[in-house]
C-alpha cells in the first residue's frame, strides 16, 4: 500500500488490495486532511505504518504466477 505525500504537493493513496470501500474512504479522507495541513488519528496511524517492501525479481514472480494460473486452469477443467 502507498499512502501519503508522494512528491511535494502530490498526495495519493493506492494499492488497497480489494479491502473494501470503507478503507478506501478512510484513506481518501485522511489524504484530504493531510493535504490541507490538518492532523487526525488516522493520519498518525498511517504515518506509523511500514513503507512498502521491495518487489520480488520478475523471474520469481513470473514463474509463480504461471504455475498458480496453470494449476487453477487445470483444476477448472472444462469450466474454462
pLDDT at position 18 is 65
pLDDT level of residue 67 (50, 70, 90 thresholds): very high
What is the Cα–Cα distance from 16 to 52, expressed in whole angstroms? 12
Which of 41, 42, 53, 47 minimizes the C-alpha distance to 15?
53
Mean pLDDT, residues 55-78 taken together: 90
Inform me whether the pLDDT recorded for 55 exceeds 90: no
Mean pLDDT, residues 62-71 taken together: 93
- Domain holding 21, by residue range, is 2-79
Domains in the chain, number: 1
pLDDT at position 3 is 81
What are 8-18's pLDDT values in tens digits? Answer: 999 988 766 66
Which of 61, 58, 51 minimizes the C-alpha distance to 1?
51
Amino acid at each position: 500500500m502507498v499512502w501519503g505525500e508522494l512528491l511535494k504537493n502530490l498526495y495519493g493513496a493506492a494499492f488497497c488490495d480489494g479491502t473494501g470501500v470503507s478503507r478506501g474512504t478512510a484513506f481518501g479522507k485522511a489524504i484530504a486532511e493531510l493535504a490541507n495541513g490538518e492532523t487526525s488519528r488516522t493520519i498518525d496511524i498511517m504515518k506509523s505504518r511500514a513503507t512498502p517492501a521491495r518487489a520480488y525479481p520478475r523471474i520469481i514472480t513470473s514463474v509463480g504466477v504461471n504455475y498458480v494460473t496453470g494449476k487453477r486452469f487445470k483444476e477448472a477443467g472444462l469450466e474454462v
